[in-house]
Amino acid sequence: MTADATHGLIATPDAESITRLVHGFYAEVRRDPLLGPVFEAALHGRWEPHLQRMVDFWSTVALGARSYRGNVLASHRPLQGVTPAHFAAWVRLWGEHTSRLFVPDVALSLQQAAHGVARNLFRALIGRLPDFALESDQEHGREHGHG
């Protein structure tokens, strides 16, 4: 893990920093009044295996580790009571955690990946595209004649 000397932010993610990100993020998810109950209902008694799967997932995304094996959509389909507000809260918390740990370009890359996951799940579970968007998504749309 290489830290940016001026801010103590991580410039090069590694297994340790991804583990730290995932565990810190989900600790806050569990405390969140909106997200906590949904996650607790789905994961009661199974938090440790979930955390390991999420470390594997984000290590695959961020590091190319190929340690994640699974179907993201299939694992989320059974969730009950998920609303657009849950997605927005999840994206917001992820953004906060990545920005606290990583230099801006690394944080943005992780945020864009999470946003893509959230957007795909939102479309599948809610039945439409989400209202939330990263600035880079909006800029991308403007560059290509959208929005």
Task: Give the tens place of pLDDT for each residue, 1-10.
Answer: 555 544 799 9
Domains of the chain: 2-143 (1.10.490.10)
The whole-number pLDDT of residue 3 equals 54
Residue in this structure with the two tokens 């938090």, named with its chain if needed: 47
Task: Give the tens place of pLDDT for each residue, 40-73.
Answer: 998 999 999 999 999 999 999 999 988 777 666 6
Identify which has the larger pLDDT, 44 or 142: 44
Q: Average the pLDDT over 127-134 and give the result.
A: 76
Q: Which residues contact 41 (CB under 8 A, 6 or more apart)?
A: 80, 81
Angle, vertex CA 88, rays to CA 55 and CA 77, nearest 5:
65
Q: What is the mean pLDDT of the chain?
A: 84
Distances (CA, A) of 104 to 6, 23, 58, 108, 129: 13, 20, 17, 6, 26
